[in-house]
Chain A
Amino acid sequence: GDSVTQMEGPVTLSEEAFLTINCTYTATGYPSLFWYVQYPGEGLQLLLKATKADDKGSNKGFEATYRKETTSFHLEKGSVQVSDSAVYFCALSDRDTGFQKLVFGTGTRLLVSP
């Protein structure tokens, strides 16, 4: 079945550092890929998405590129802020479910210090 693997956290960075959170997936066909963010005490919010190979999703300074050859969708940001401290979830949906459901990774906690 489908699965998503994320790097274990927490990831601890100083403000303005470069961020990479790795995400790889296993799926049949060509899934859609998502990053969701969960700020403390809140639900999940969609951060960005990509629906086909080589697409780049971007939002709020975050980027991720859909790499079919490496089955990856790594999240990057050039300069993190304290306000980026949150848990980040990589997820996919695929044709088997009509793109109606999401399969999530385990989440990666990011801690940014001033």
Chain B
Amino acid sequence: DVKVTQSSRYLVKRTGEKVFLECVQDMDHENMFWYRQDPGLGLRLIYFSYDVKMKEKGDIPEGYSVSREKKERFSLILESASTNQTSMYLCASSLFGQGKGNTIYFGEGSWLTVV
């Protein structure tokens, strides 16, 4: 089975702190994603990476950056956390180039509270 592991399930950070959310997948997937989930808004894509050191902005990249130094690891960085970044963050991965049946696999999520 595909496993996408997010290192922290629950975090509480202070406004202005730099926050790292880590994600590791064990299936040699090229694609990795960070989504944010908020009630009434569904999931929104923050950043997407299709290869090591490659990244692409999603729909809501402001206030976030990412790092992908190794194929299996994709980190989301909040340079200066703000209260409006309190949310559930979901990491996901998939194979590249699978066409119409391409399936994206999700981790269990990281609940971030910024106080």
Binding site for B on A (CB under 8 A): 32, 34, 36, 41-46, 49, 51-52, 89, 93, 98-102, 104-107
Contact = CB atoms under 8 A, between A and B. Distances in A.
Most buried by B among A34, A101, A107: A101
Nearest to A103: B45
Given A46-B104, A100-B31, A107-B42, 7 more contacts: A43-B107, A43-B108, A43-B109, A99-B100, A101-B58, A102-B104, A104-B44
A104 B31 CA distance: 18
B74 interface: no
Nearest to B44: A104
A32 B101 contact: yes
B101 A51 contact: yes
Interface stretch (B12-20, B78-86, B90-98): B90-98
User: Top 6 closest A-B pairs, CB basis?
Assistant: A51-B100, A106-B42, A43-B106, A44-B106, A104-B43, A43-B108
Contact of A106 (B31, B41, B90, B104): B41
A99 B106 contact: no
A43 B90 contact: yes
Q: How large is the interface on B (under 10, 10 to 19, 20 to 34, 35 or more residues)?
A: 20 to 34
A99 B99 contact: yes
B64 interface: no
Nearest to A33: B100
Contacts of A45: 106
Contact of A32 (B33, B41, B42, B100): B100
A105 B101 CA distance: 19
A61 to B, nearest CB: 20
Interface in B33-75: 33, 40-45, 48, 50, 58
B103 A104 contact: no
A89 B42 contact: yes
A51 B109 CA distance: 27
B98 to A, nearest CB: 7
